[in-house]
Amino acid sequence: MSKPKINLDKKYGLFIGGEFVQGESGEMLDVYCPADGELLSSITQASEKDVDNAVEAAWEGFKEYKKTNRYERAKILNKIADIIDENAEHLAMVETLDNGKPIRETRNIDIPLASEHFRYFAGAILAEEGTANAIDENTLSIVLREPLGVVGQIIPWNFPFLMAAWKLSPALAAGDAVVIKPSSTTSLSLLELMKLIKDVVPKGVINVITGSGSKSGEYLQHHKGLSKLAFTGSTEVGYKIASAAADGLIPATLELGGKSANIFFDDCDMDLAIDGLAMGILFNQGQVCCAGSRVFVHENIYDEFIERAIKKFENIKVGLPWEEDTQVGAQVNKAQIEKVLGYVEIAKKEGATIAVGGERATKNGTEKGYFTMPTLITNASNDMKVAREEIFGPVAVVIKFKDEDEVIKMANDSEYGLAGAVWTKDINRAIRVARGIETGRMWVNTYNQLPAGAPFGGYKKSGIGRETHKMMLDAYSQVKNIFINISEKPSGLY
Ligand code: NAD
């Protein structure tokens, strides 16, 4: 299949105050397709002045937006969801070309899940009820949710569109205005969305600044005009965001990295297990914060598991992401594939075995892009570098275990705690293990499901706060308590 032609602007400005504007410095960054190196477009490198303008425009927008009622806000969120659905095919292809993800994923997962999040938060805000209590005979307490103001949001390249939806939907539902910065590697789908929803969102309520993390990201995180920072990305940058939030004495929610344990007991269904291994580590080329990158397999099924896993991985189609039957697309850029293959070399030096994969793909038209073969590292132990650090590629490290206590101990021996899964037919064991593992999300007999309505977020160095759930409204608002005396008598104290 030849590469689809899509309509993209040659150059994108910044979206500030309800319109696209040129950056003050005129500096642009080229954007390439990771599957074949084609120049797709160029985006604006936002300067400090541009970020100032965006924050100012957001406060301007907030002045009116904070007066909206929840019905009006829900209507805006639902309209955004409708527009995403109506333009799903275009947005899916933009994401596929910009990021390298297979079209079957962007079409069936990234884009529909994004519109689902806008609908979910529209519903969540409508279902909200304020509280009023009689404290005693003479006093009433009214509890109101009020927006925070202007939120600075910074998102990564692995799910550019979905992460934008995770950030924008609760903020808009709560009544905040935002300045959002996508990754400079993958800004196109959000910029395209802004073209589509320009007339639906009140001016200044969403402002998009683009550019590198080290410039535009730094200006945004240190901006003194923000009421909150919300970040998804690496733990390394997460530390910087937390410290900028501390400096400004504002709250921060952080969704960071992981090294999640995908645990297979000897009573699991082997067909489902092999499928679950692939879902855990091949989805989005393994560039998933919650990827099942540490695979623990019970010793009784280890040999059969490895044999079947190798066969599965050998038969995965690594190919051009716009082809319908491609299962694994391109890594996002050169730096990322070099990092992934660098970890394969580290594994070899550490004495592990590369049971399958471990190299660039060379078939199906992949020669010009950044494609990695699905990889299994065996003969590994939990203390190896490849079992401790986030590889962020289609590379699973497999470790054998004897019993429940041992596997819980090994799974918890990690600085991260984002997700994980347990595969077994024994419900008691599934729940015991799920409870024993220090992570924010444990799947049972499934992996990488990320619907709206189930809270997602990390323990330990994987983050602070939860997303994808109505509890996020608390993180985007503050509480006003109005305390009323209805008695006509003086207090009698003075
Ligand atoms: P990254 O930390 O390099 O970049 C994330 C964002 O931060 C980008 O927009 C980048 O431009 C910006 N940035 C970089 N340096 C900055 C700085 N000094 N100041 C301000 N902003 C800066 O992460 P990435 O490589 O884009 O994404 C991969 C990482 O994201 C992985 O670690 C992954 O686990 C994590 N992630 C976590 C979740 C989650 O929900 N927990 C979801 C997706 C991705």
Structural domain includes residue 491: no
Q: How confident is the model at residue 1 (pLDDT cuts 50, 70, 90)?
A: confident
Radius of gyration, alpha carbons of the chain: 24
The confidence score (pLDDT) of residue 271 equals 97
Structural domain includes residue 487: no
Rounded mean pLDDT of 63-88?
A: 98
The confidence score (pLDDT) of residue 129 equals 84
Same domain, 38 and 184: yes
Q: Whose CA is nearest to atom 42 of ligand 1?
A: 289
Q: Whose CA is nearest to atom 41 of ligand 1?
A: 255
Structural domain includes residue 70: yes
Return the ligand 1 atom nearest residue 181 CA: 9
Same domain, 334 and 235: no
22 pLDDT more than 90: yes
Chain segment 178-218, per-residue pLDDT in tens: 999 999 999 999 999 999 999 999 999 999 999 999 999 99
Same domain, 304 and 230: no
Measured in Å, residue 294 CA sits from the centre of ligand 1 at 21
CATH number at 380 reads: 3.40.309.10
Q: Residue 263, Cβ neighbours under 10 Å: how many?
A: 29
Q: Are strands 353-356 and 459-460 parallel, antiparallel or unpaired?
A: unpaired
Residues 457, 440 contacting (CB under 8 angstroms): yes
Measured in Å, residue 81 CA sits from the centre of ligand 1 at 25
Chain segment 80-100, per-residue pLDDT in tens: 999 999 999 999 999 999 999
Nearest to 332 by CA among 391, 282, 284: 284
SS (H, E, C) 177-211: EEEEECCCCCCHHHHHHHHHHCCCCCCCCEEECCC
Chain segment 253-300, per-residue pLDDT in tens: 999 999 999 999 999 999 999 999 999 999 999 999 999 999 999 999
Return the ligand 1 atom nearest residue 456 CA: 40
Structural domain includes residue 35: yes
| DSSP H helices in 222-362 | 235-248, 270-282, 302-314, 334-349
Q: Which residues contact 257 (CB under 8 A, 6 or more apart)?
A: 234, 235, 238, 289, 390, 416, 418, 461, 462
Structural domain includes residue 148: yes
Same domain, 292 and 215: no
Taking the CA atoms of residue 480, residue 486, residue 492 and residue 494 in that order, the dihedral angle to the nearest 10 degrees is 40
Residues 12, 41 contacting (CB under 8 angstroms): yes
Amino acid residing at 358: G
Average pLDDT along the chain: 97
Give the span between the Cα atoms of 454 and 166, in whole angstroms.
12
| Sheet of 375-378, strands arranged across | 353-356, 375-378, 395-401, 294-298, 261-264, 420-423, 443-444
Nearest to 125 by CA among 454, 473, 466: 473
Residues 62, 147 contacting (CB under 8 angstroms): yes
The confidence score (pLDDT) of residue 164 equals 98
Same domain, 286 and 372: yes
Structural domains in the chain (count): 2
Nearest to 171 by CA among 455, 468, 473, 467: 473
Structure tokens at 377: 């590292």
Give the span between the Cα atoms of 302 and 289, in whole angstroms.
26
Please spell the DSSP secondary structure of 348-362, one letter per residue: HHTT-EEEE--SB--
37 pLDDT more than 90: yes
Same domain, 245 and 265: no
Measured in Å, residue 153 CA sits from the centre of ligand 1 at 11
Same domain, 332 and 396: yes
Same domain, 147 and 269: no
Same domain, 279 and 405: yes
Same domain, 158 and 288: no
Q: Which residues contact 63 (CB under 8 A, 6 or more apart)?
A: none
CATH number at 147 reads: 3.40.605.10
Q: Which residues line ligand 1 (CB under 6 A)?
A: 154-159, 163, 181, 183-184, 213-214, 217-218, 221, 232-234, 237, 240, 255-258, 289, 390, 392, 418, 458, 463
Give the span between the Cα atoms of 377 and 81, in whole angstroms.
41
Structure tokens at 478: 């503050």
Q: How confident is the model at residue 59 (pLDDT cuts 50, 70, 90)?
A: very high
Same domain, 186 and 71: yes
Chain segment 132-170, per-residue pLDDT in tens: 999 999 999 999 999 999 999 999 999 999 999 999 999
Same domain, 392 and 295: yes
Structural domain includes residue 5: no
In percent, the amount of the chain with pLDDT more than 70 equals 100
Chain segment 305-353, per-residue pLDDT in tens: 999 999 999 999 999 999 999 999 999 999 999 999 999 999 999 999 9
Chain segment 457-494, per-residue pLDDT in tens: 999 999 999 999 999 999 999 999 999 999 999 999 99
Measured in Å, residue 137 CA sits from the centre of ligand 1 at 53
State which residues form the domain around 322: 261-444
5 secondary structure, DSSP code: P
3-state secondary structure (DSSP) of residue 398: strand
Structural domain includes residue 492: no
Structural domain includes residue 451: no
